[in-house]
Amino acid sequence: MSVSSHPKARSRTPTRGEQDPGRSGHPSPDADDAARQRMADPAYRVEVERRRGRGAAANPGGRFEAVQREAFDDGWSPDEEPEAIETEVIVERARTIITRNDSPDIGFERSINPYRGCEHGCSYCFARPTHAFQGLSPGLDFETKIFAKSGAAELLEKELRAPGYVPRTIALGANTDPYQPVERRLRLTRSILEVLARTNHPVGIVTKSALVTRDLDILAPMAARGLVKVAISVTTLDPRLARRMEPRAPTPPRRLDTIRQLTDAGIPVAVLVAPIIPAINDHEIEAILRACQVAGATEAGYVLLRLPHELKDLVRDWLHEHYPDKLRHVLSVLQEARGGKDYDSGWTVRQTGVGPYAWMIGRRFETAIARLQMNQRRLKLRTDLFVPPVPATGQLSLF
């Protein structure tokens, strides 16, 4: 359901001809004009006062909805001021907690995401379309309706106790940030780390939050045993750009300080320059890597902006609002790097793209990390220390 400035709405079933051409993988030549039209429509765009501090400008329906709700202006103007959209936490009773994948271009087989949705509100987040599986919008719903997996630690213990379980590094936060703001109160990520630490299970953490330093008391001893490393996402060093792209995430200086604190505690740190957006932050690659290397990061990686499913229109809307003069250029370069499409989901190319621009970015990155002597040794976490958890009511061993 679309959140709009107008309370009236009507339901309709979109016709075949109305479907977004970008969803089929073939961009419309008028896609950028469509973004201008959407953002000029007050029934589509959510008022700035209601979404202040949020990343998305609208709340369009997901791709699985048979009926779309379309707001329209009925001529009435409400007397009261529009209320800000508050964050809602929805308790999810998950049946399993470890997700497995066999993608050949991803460096992990298993992951845990204690939360669905993310309050950081990053405009570019590739996980946004997953909210459509919940019947919600990848727009503002994604950053205001957060699903929290209650009992995550207990589920993890159960799965680690399973007969024949073989430990492999678990990626924590590969989809949505495990240290987003609600973690400060719910502490699901910490409870998961407590189980992993107790069982000597390896874990790799991906976050852009300074909240990870709260758990140094768990992470530092794990690092001493070769069981953990942390990747910090640093998209820009410009606080103004960061506020536009990642409105509720920590500032760039705080992320650099987080790298320092983790490094000082003996925890291996990598930096993710992700995503790289043409004409927006691509000029910062070398500066970001240099700042993070000085702060203590020893490994680095990057990802070219990905635009799966509904994200293509959300990013167009964001560009129109903040960088309208760059909209056509950004899309043109991205499409060139995706074989003429908005997005190419093919393995090995979805992260980096193809063509001259993608090649140039790759060479710049390689040159920078070579100069900074990063990625000289890829840390492999230990699995030989794993000890399966013992049930609280289980029988103790005689020996």
Q: Are strands 228-233 and 145-149 parallel, antiparallel or unpaired?
A: unpaired
Closest Cα to residue 116, out of 86, 138, 84, 83? Answer: 138
pLDDT at 335 over 70: yes
pLDDT at 74 over 60: yes
pLDDT tens-digit map of 133-191: 999 999 999 999 999 999 999 999 999 999 999 999 999 988 899 999 999 999 999 99
Sign, CA dihedral 228-295-360-330, equals positive
Which strand ranges, in their side-by-side order, compose the sheet holding 88-92?
A: 88-92, 145-149, 115-116
pLDDT tens-digit map of 253-309: 999 999 999 999 999 999 999 999 999 999 999 999 999 999 999 999 999 999 999
Task: Please tell me the distance from the alpha carbon of residue 177 to that of residue 192, in angstroms, as a whole number.
Answer: 14
Q: Which domains, ranges and CATH numbers included, belong to the chain? A: 9-71 (no CATH), 99-114+149-306+351-371 (3.80.30.30)
Q: Are 242 and 207 in contact (CB under 8 A)?
A: no
pLDDT tens-digit map of 184-221: 999 999 999 999 999 999 999 999 999 999 999 999 99
- The reported pTM is 0.86
Radius of gyration of the chain (CA): 22
**Residue 16 confidence class, pLDDT cut points 50, 70, 90:** very low
Which strand ranges, in their side-by-side order, compose the sheet holding 203-207?
A: 99-100, 110-112, 170-172, 203-207, 228-233, 269-276, 299-304
